[in-house]
Amino acid sequence: MPEMAISLAAVFGNSPELWMQRESSYRLSLVGKADPELQRRARVFEIAPVKDMEKRGWIRPTRTIDELEDELRGFFKCDSLDELPATNAVARASSSADEFTAPQRTWLAQATRLASILNTRNFNPETFKATGLKQIRALTETPDQTSKLPKLLAELGIRFVVIESLPKSLIDGAAFWLDENSPVIAVSLRYDRIDWFWFTLAHELQHIKHGDKRSIDINLLGENRTSALNEIEDRANREAAMFLIPPSSLESFVIRSKPFFQKQMIIQFAKRMAVHPGIVNGQLQHLHEIGWEHNREMLVKVRDFVTATALTDGWGKTTGQFLTTSTRNN
């Protein structure tokens, strides 16, 4: 075709590009209008990671687009896929995007579904701030103590769920509210390390402490919405670090120990702070005082301890399938 376009252009005194455009337009006209069913299917795959949801048992495999849309409406609990429910959550994710992506929105919807079947005591903000945070902080010394977290959080009125991350979701954790008296913390354990787990949990705890919600009114905040969210996240990060290790204590340790940061010194400091050495090591890495390869053996795994007692979806567990079956007609 390019050769023919050049020949026609030479004969008629115009450009080869004109003939190429006419050829493309002609071929498109032969195709006709797009198949409405294909358009519906394409739209559905933009809304949610359908294949991943089927693999996890969150929705049933379907044969028709009508069945698939029905499954997704049931999953998201909505009457129309054009009007998905708002996600009122503050999520710790490796992304600066203001709006949630389809995998993130879907992960958060599953967190909501799991949290809704948990029973907890009534949440008392004052008790949580006065004694609850101290009780949680007391579990940071050894990996096995993380298995006590789900029960403790339930006693404090906080629903805690663990959901394996979806591909490309990049979410580490989220804090949200089923209603004004029912806070939820969900974590993905995307990185199975004691420092990552505790910082993520501490970050979400700060959101609960301040009553942060994702449903910020864009009409009120306008262009300041993103900066407001960043301010909330920055505060949660600062307070999470402070929750684990007082900044003045860490700064003093850095001054005394740099540039070598001997392993035994980190262990002794962690013991004084009553936290696991991996948490100290993680904060030193975050501050770029030591390299990411430093003391990797301290960054022990905690997933098996946490998921042994927490309501969990992922890593072969079938909670998603249970929910799909049990809530279909609710």
Q: How confident is the model over 272-285, as pLDDT tens digits? A: 999 999 999 999 99
Lowest mean pLDDT among 55-59, 66-70, 255-259: 255-259
- AA letter at 176: F
Short-list 53, 52, 88, CA closest to 72: 53
DSSP 188: -
CA 131, chain centre distance (Å): 28
Would you state the pLDDT for residue 10? 75
Which among 85, 87, 89 is positioned nearest to 208, based on CA atoms? 89
CA distances from 320 to 145, 182, 247, 278, 297 (A): 27, 21, 41, 32, 33
The residue among 229 and 294 whose pLDDT is bigger is 294
Q: Looking at residue 39, what is its pLDDT?
A: 83
Q: Helix (H, G, I), strand (E, B), or coil: what is residue 313?
A: strand
Q: Give 81-121 pLDDT, tens digit per residue.
A: 888 877 667 777 665 444 788 999 999 999 999 999 999 99
Q: What is the pTM of this model?
A: 0.81
pLDDT for residue 129 is more than 50? yes
Whether 48 shows a pLDDT value over 70: the answer reads: yes
Instruction: Say if residue 302's pLDDT is above 60.
Output: yes
Q: How much is the pLDDT for 223? A: 47
Please state the rounded mean pLDDT for residues 206-213.
92
Mean pLDDT over residues 218-233, rounded? Answer: 57
Of residues 260 and 132, which shows the higher confidence score? 132
The yes-or-no verdict on residue 154 having pLDDT over 90 is yes
Q: How confident is the model at residue 34 (pLDDT cuts 50, 70, 90)?
A: low
Lowest mean pLDDT among 24-28, 45-49, 191-195, 289-293: 24-28
pLDDT of residue 6: 73
Identify the burial level of 283 via C-beta atoms within 10 angstroms of its C-beta, where 0-12 means exposed, 13-18 middle and 19 or more buried.
Answer: buried
- Judged against a pLDDT cut of 70, whether residue 27 lies above it is answered with no
- Say how far apart CA 188 and CA 161 lie, in whole Å: 9
What's the pLDDT at 42? 86
- Decide if 167 contacts 192 (C-beta within 8 A): no
Average pLDDT over residues 52-71: 95
